[in-house]
Structure 1
Amino acid sequence: MRLFSQFHHKCMLVAGQGPVEENAQDLGFKHVVTIEALRKAYPLLDMVDQNRVPTPLPWFPSISSNLPGVILFGEPVRWETSLQLITDVLLSNGNPDSELQDIPYPHLPVLACNMDLLWMAEAKMPSRIGHGTFLLCLENIYKKVTGRELKYEALIGKPSTVTYRYAAYLIQEQAEKQGWKAPIRRLYAVGDNPMSDVYGANLYNNYLKSAHQNQVQAGVKRSLQTAMESCESILVCTGVYRHNADVPSKTKECTMESVFHGHRDFCFDPSLVEASHIVQDVNDAVQLAFKKENWS
């Protein structure tokens, strides 16, 4: 999000839960409007829950300027309100107080984080719907209303390659602070979701292989920053992915899925959900990495 400085000085609508306004400001966005603030400014927009409609309707000052874009941090608490107001902003070209004229297309820029369809919580069922499900709802509502595809200015987070590149950058930065001289050549990506954690790690591994091959062919000498050669994916069985029996030895048979849970804008490649290793938990994953790196 820090890379998208062209939006940092614009008044952006932000959706999610928790301190979304503070989070946006930490990332460089100077002026943002939350879903709740937009709802208070335009109380007639949110009419799903009749118990929340104020009677008589109070007067609130309008948002001072049009909203030029939308930031989606994560799943909101009240989906119906967020889905309604985000759709209103997109259809009205950032001015939900105006009468609907021609629907603009391309629509306003939408930046979205966190594409996981499902995630694991304390419940025994490993199918807590995440922000990926919210995005799916928003995409389908927009297409049903307009007949056109909702498009993203950026999709950030797993399994996007840029997320793993950023992780590699942070790891290299830590290594330099520790004074390590030897370049880091391998990453180990540990996760519980084949469709996001493993998929993204394998996607990044393919990127590293391609970059390494291109440098070899070009005869380019590799620096510490470009010495990364591979990223191995390690799938743990304590989250979204569960395996009740012994840890399997054949990863391909256990990670192949007939239904792709990844985001709409990522093509399904069965080989990308095949983890390099499957272990029981994070501790086993760390021990595996130690063993492969010959660390006692």
Structure 2
Amino acid sequence: MWCRGFLQQTVRHVSSRQAGVIFDVDGVLVRGSAVIPAARRAFRKLLDSNNNFLFPTVFVTNAGSCQRHHKAQQLSHLLDVQITPEQVVLSHSPLQMMKSFHDKCVLVSGQGPVTHIANTLGFQRVMTMEQLSEHHPLLDMVDHSRNPTLPSSPPQSLPQIQAIILFGEPVRWETNLQLLIDVLLTNGRPECGYDTQLSPQLPVLACNTDLLWMAEAPSPRFGHGMFLLCLESVYRKLTGRELEYKALLGKPSLVTYQYAEQVLRQQNCNRRLNTIYAVGDNLMTDIYGANLYNRYLGQRHAAVTTTTRVVARGMGSEVMAEEEPMSAIQCHSILVRTSPLRFTSFFF
């Protein structure tokens, strides 16, 4: 059910361009390849007579097996509205900001053109799970039909893996679980035996922590978060330690909402927005993430207000006007009741 109050509140801000909107995609606008009829009707109210958006709008999805321009083309076709790649934020989009990893040899896991995606994000030395398996065929032994029939030659030399990027759920979970554990427990050298001394863990960057997502099936499907749960469980069982993440990206992470707000500001001529409306169908990602970001904005705004008062009383150093944060004042979450909500009680 779409929220009429949300539309009424948002339109009030149109003239001053003080509001921006973050839309989830799956379960809010589409289910699989089909547009949700009510969403299409409501969506038209957010456009002017020339089919232009009335205010800054971004589409933030935890999908990560494609690139922004492909998702923009898909949404433009489904919604019959021109959506630009700059309006799309995928789960891996914030990786562009993590420049300290861009020159490292990274192992990537996921579906789709993962090498091209990683290169587009700035990563220069990329290794796929398929390349790793091809160079070390004895590591993946679950599928007997793919086991080498001839004595294996010595493994070819590969550069040491320095970080792992998990873009999304893989097709062959057993292969990726095995190889990822091999890389983690050999400090990036899977041709060696496990390191019993447990060296400092390799950095792991994970995108999309959704346990479930809504497609065309009547009940939710496993998401990348379910795969991460399996990886964490195996790692804990073998090492007695918790798997540590250098970064968790996608909703509900703060960095994703910060990145989305930055994109909204760019559409608003880099002017600050007062209010952000985040529309989603998943309590544990869309709504929790938006509420978390709203709390962050409130704390940030309160801290700046307090500092300004102290400065005004002559009790602190002068704050320059250009140092005033560009962050919005608040972020309102809007729940669309179309999907995993009714299954939440099964898991809590």
Same fold (TM over 0.5): yes
Say if 2:249 is the partner of 1:156. yes
Say if 2:325 is the partner of 1:231. no
Aligned pair partner of 2:279 in 190, 193, 217: 190
Aligned pair partner of 1:136 in 210, 215, 229: 229
Deviates more, 1:105-114 or 1:52-61: 52-61
Letter paired with 1:175: N
Contact 1:13–1:67 at 8 Å: present in 2 too? yes
TM-score by length of 2: 0.65
Letter paired with 1:142: Y
Q: How does 1:173-252 map to 2 (within 5 A)?
A: 173-176=266-269, 183-219=272-308, 226=326, 228-242=328-342
Q: Determine the C-alpha separation between the residues in 2 that align with 1:108 and 1:120.
A: 32
Aligned pair partner of 2:184 in 83, 90, 99: 90
Contact 1:118–1:130 at 8 Å: present in 2 too? yes
What percent identity do the matched residue pairs reach? 52
Q: What's the offset of the Cα at 1:213?
A: 0.9
Say if 2:149 is the partner of 1:55. yes
TM-score by length of 1: 0.76
Letter paired with 2:258: R
Aligned pair partner of 1:165 in 246, 258, 273: 258
Gapped regions of structure 2 (runs ≥ 5): 1-94, 309-318
1:118-160 deviation line (CA, Å, top 9, x unaligned) = 000110112x111101110001100101111111111111111
Q: Determine the C-alpha separation between the residues in 2 that align with 1:32 and 1:63.
A: 15
Q: How does 1:249-268 map to 2 (within 5 A)?
A: 259=347
Q: Pairwise CA RMSD of aligned residues? A: 2.2
1:46-78 deviation line (CA, Å, top 9, x unaligned) = 001111213125548624211111110000000
Give the length in aligned residue pairs: 243
Q: Determine the C-alpha separation between the residues in 2 that align with 1:96 and 1:71.
A: 16
Q: Determine the C-alpha separation between the residues in 1 that align with 2:340 and 2:283.
A: 8
Q: What's the offset of the Cα at 1:80?
A: 0.2
Say if 2:184 is the partner of 1:122. no
Letter paired with 1:130: G
Identify the structure with bigger relative contact order (alpha carbons < 8 Å, sequence gap 6+).
2
Q: Determine the C-alpha separation between the residues in 2 that align with 1:222 and 1:213.
A: 18
Q: Determine the C-alpha separation between the residues in 2 that align with 1:194 and 1:100.
A: 39
Q: Residue 71 of structure 1: SS of its match in structure 2?
A: strand
Letter paired with 2:303: N
Gapped regions of structure 1 (runs ≥ 5): 244-254, 261-296
Q: What's the offset of the Cα at 1:228?
A: 1.1
